[in-house]
Structure 1
Amino acid sequence: MHTPDRLRPPSRTTLGLALAGVMVALLTSACSMQQATCGGGEYPVLAVGSAGSACVPDDEEPPKGYARYPEGKVPEHEGDKWDTYWNTRTLDEKGETIELPDEN
């Protein structure tokens, strides 16, 4: 059996492919690490007339004082577009979007 006197270093292509694979793994895992607004089998609801939200089982209606988020404006993960949007807004008793008062 023949052993080489020295090992060849990996080629640039091999290193580039390995680095690209690591980057793809990191980027795709970052999405899955976002905290979901609610757990499986639940949906988020918004407090009416005030700040706050809760999670309700899929087979139940929102409790008194809460409403479903408007269609297309439902937060899915903490810090996503709609989670940020609803930090400064809520719904009134008529289901209209209103600004929350400043907490100063």
Structure 2
Amino acid sequence: MSRPTTAFRPGSSRIAAAALVGAAAFVVLTGCSSIEYQEDICGSGEYPVLSVGGTGSACVSDGEQPPAGFVRYPEGKVPQQVDDKWDVYWRTHTLDKDGNVIDAPDAG
């Protein structure tokens, strides 16, 4: 009776496992993923507010007014996620006491 042939040689499963681990590490290290995490500026049930005359911000519970020294962002210019277009913009801009957009004094 003849011995059945096998498609794998001894040790080839270790090579395949190493290749699989290497491919997974490549995906993780290079960021090749269809899932991109973006951190929200505020949690659920909150909205962001900007400090008047500065680049500080805070989150306020829905239904509450901003605390003294803070105002709501102008409509259409509200940051939603960290590093989004408006989050980056408000790092170098702020609102004065009259609600005008100005360059932030500490942005220089």
Q: Tell me if both proteins adopt one fold, taking TM over 0.5 as the criterion.
A: yes
> In the alignment, is residue 95 of structure 1 matched against residue 95 of structure 2?
no
Distance 2:64 2:53 in 1: 21
In structure 1, list runs of 5 or more residues that go unmatched. Answer: 7-25
Q: Which runs of 4+ in 1 moved over 2 A?
A: 101-104
Highest Rg: 1 or 2? 2
Asked whether the equivalents of residues 53 and 105 of structure 2 are also in contact (C-alpha less than 8 Å), the reply is no
SS at the partner of 1:82?
A: helix
Please tell me whether the aligned partners of residues 49 and 59 of structure 2 are also in contact (alpha carbons under 8 angstroms). Answer: yes
TM-score between the two structures when normalised by the length of structure 1: 0.70
Q: CA RMSD in A?
A: 2.2
- 1:82 and 2:86 aligned: yes
Displacement of 1:50 in angstroms is 1.4
Deviation at residue 49 of structure 1 after TM alignment: 0.8
Spell out, residue by residue over 1:84-103, the C-alpha distance to the aligned partner (whole angstroms, 9 max, x if none): 00000100111000101245
Is the aligned partner of 1:53 residue 2:57? yes
Percentage of pairs with the same residue: 55
Provide TM-score, normalisation by structure 2: 0.67
Measure the CA separation in 1 of the matches of 2:107 and 2:57.
Answer: 17
Q: Is residue 68 from structure 1 mapped to residue 105 from structure 2 by the alignment? A: no
Q: Deviations over 1:46-104 (max 9, x none)?
A: 00011200000011010110000000000000000000000001001110001012456
Structure 2 unaligned residues grouped into runs of 5+: 1-5, 8-32
Farther-moved stretch of structure 1 (94-103 vs 59-68): 94-103
1:1-40 map, 5 Å: 26-27=33-34, 29-30=35-36, 33-40=37-44
